[in-house]
């Protein structure tokens, strides 16, 4: 490292006082003074992680290694507005701390995923289409009234991408995580870095125009968007036109599992439509893995088959030579795990450690 032993010893002493590292026994001398060994102490602090969807919420408490200590799931409508939803979040975090028997002072940061565009630098949602009353709401400041810790906010599919990579694909530095549910969006990791773009809207594939969808209106105000023809509500509507009873995304999944031919065809075509947009993304970004997650991923191989069919046909041969298109392994936990790592990365960043060091120096 090029540092004097006294400098290293001083920094280790600060980390020991913070509780972030602990002695890890000694090592045999190879000549000279025996070395001292230290290890990370994951249980020193905890982070709160929250994944908010259109109609669901998951909150968890994890240690600094991302191990879940306690978890709460609830049906919660994001359209109820920030006061209602964030009151639930605050109550859930207090409950989680109590369940894990950790005092509030052990909470070092919070990570939260929202189902809409987020200005990452401020944590404010920007014109979120399914979140009435949330536009530019200062979510971090709202929660810091109860918990005076850093609050990190990101788009839900970004944290899903982060959770999937950290827990199941740690050796894959280039991947796309595609969430297919009420909406469609992508989280992009390139060079081991989450790519948010200039305003935080990178990966908004759900509003890319697809062939054959002219005249199909989307909730964003445009027509022909991928989301308008291939997201869960669009598939349920398509089945109703065929006189098949399907009101929700879960109904579509259930029909696929039952082997309903109309549902199988609708889901396979949705996969092809999605594959058309993913193929362009593969040519542009050259990922090693495309992960398919979200509620509609529970439809299984029928959706994946449609995606693979078009991606391998339309993408460049070199880009698909080793490309994998796979279902999410983290599943319903991808978002909350990603939110945890978002908080952990901040809490253990050089800047945060330096600030904490000043308080104990």
State pLDDT tens for residues 276-301.
Answer: 999 999 999 999 999 999 999 999 89
Lowest mean pLDDT among 4-18, 124-138, 139-153, 228-242: 4-18
**pLDDT number for residue 182:** 86
Instruction: Please give the average per-residue pLDDT across 99-115, as a whole number.
Output: 96
**Is pLDDT above 60 for 29?**
no
> Where do the structural domains in the chain lie, given as residue ranges?
44-159+335-360, 170-329
Listed in sequence order, the DSSP H helices in the chain are: 5-18, 82-99, 139-144, 156-168, 226-230, 232-241, 249-257, 261-285, 301-314, 317-320, 334-347, 350-360
The model carries a pTM of 0.90
Four-way CATH pick for 170-329: 3.90.470.10, 3.10.20.30, 2.60.40.10, 3.30.420.40: 3.30.420.40
Percent of the chain predicted with pLDDT > 90: 76
Q: Is the pLDDT of residue 249 over 60?
A: yes
* Residue whose entry in the numeric block shows the structure tokens 């929660």: 143
Domain 44-159+335-360 identical in fold to domain 170-329: yes
Q: What is the mean pLDDT of residues 295-314?
A: 93
CA 263, CA 284: separation in Å to the nearest integer?
32
Of the candidates 188, 179, 199, 225, the one whose C-alpha atom is nearest the C-alpha of residue 54 is 179
The size of the chain, in residues, is 361
Nearest CA to 115 among 163, 55, 156, 73? 156
Of 3.30.590.10, 3.30.420.40, 3.30.540.10, 3.40.50.1100, the CATH number of 44-159+335-360 is: 3.30.420.40
């Amino acid at each position: 490292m090029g540092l004097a032993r006294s400098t290293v010893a001083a920094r280790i002493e600060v980390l020991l006082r913070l509780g972030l590292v602990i002695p890890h026994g000694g090592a045999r001398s190879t000549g000279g003074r025996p070395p001292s060994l230290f290890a990370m102490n994951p249980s020193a602090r905890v982070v709160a992680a929250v994944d908010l969807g259109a109609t669901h919420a998951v909150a968890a408490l994890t240690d600094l290694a991302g191990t879940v200590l306690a978890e709460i799931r609830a049906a919660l409508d994001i359209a109820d507005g920030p006061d209602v939803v964030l009151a639930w979040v605050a109550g859930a975090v207090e409950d989680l701390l109590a369940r894990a028997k950790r005092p509030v002072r052990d909470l070092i940061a919070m990570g939260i995923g929202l189902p809409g565009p987020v200005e990452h630098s401020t944590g404010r949602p920007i014109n979120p289409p399914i979140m009435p009353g949330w536009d530019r709401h200062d979510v971090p400041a709202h929660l810091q009234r109860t918990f005076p810790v850093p609050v990190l906010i990101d788009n839900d599919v970004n944290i899903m991408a982060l959770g999937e990579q950290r827990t199941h694909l740690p050796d894959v530095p280039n991947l796309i995580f595609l969430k297919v549910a009420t909406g469609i969006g992508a989280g992009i990791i390139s060079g081991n870095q989450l790519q948010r773009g200039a305003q935080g809207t990178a990966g908004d594939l759900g509003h890319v125009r697809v062939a054959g969808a002219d005249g199909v209106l989307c909730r964003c105000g445009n027509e022909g968007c991928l989301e308008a023809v291939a997201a869960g509500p669009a598939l349920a509507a398509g089945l109703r036109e065929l006189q098949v009873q399907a009101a929700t995304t879960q109904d579509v999944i259930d029909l696929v599992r039952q082997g309903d031919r109309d549902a199988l065809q609708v889901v396979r075509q949705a996969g092809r439509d999605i594959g058309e947009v993913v193929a362009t993304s593969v040519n542009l970004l050259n990922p090693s893995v495309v992960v398919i997650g979200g509620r509609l991923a529970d439809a299984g191989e029928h959706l994946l088959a449609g995606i693979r069919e078009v991606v391998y046909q339309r993408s460049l041969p070199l880009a698909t030579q080793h490309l994998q298109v796979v279902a999410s392994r983290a599943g319903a936990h991808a978002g909350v795990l990603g939110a945890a790592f978002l908080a952990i990365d901040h809490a253990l960043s050089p800047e945060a450690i330096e600030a904490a060091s000043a308080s104990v120096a």
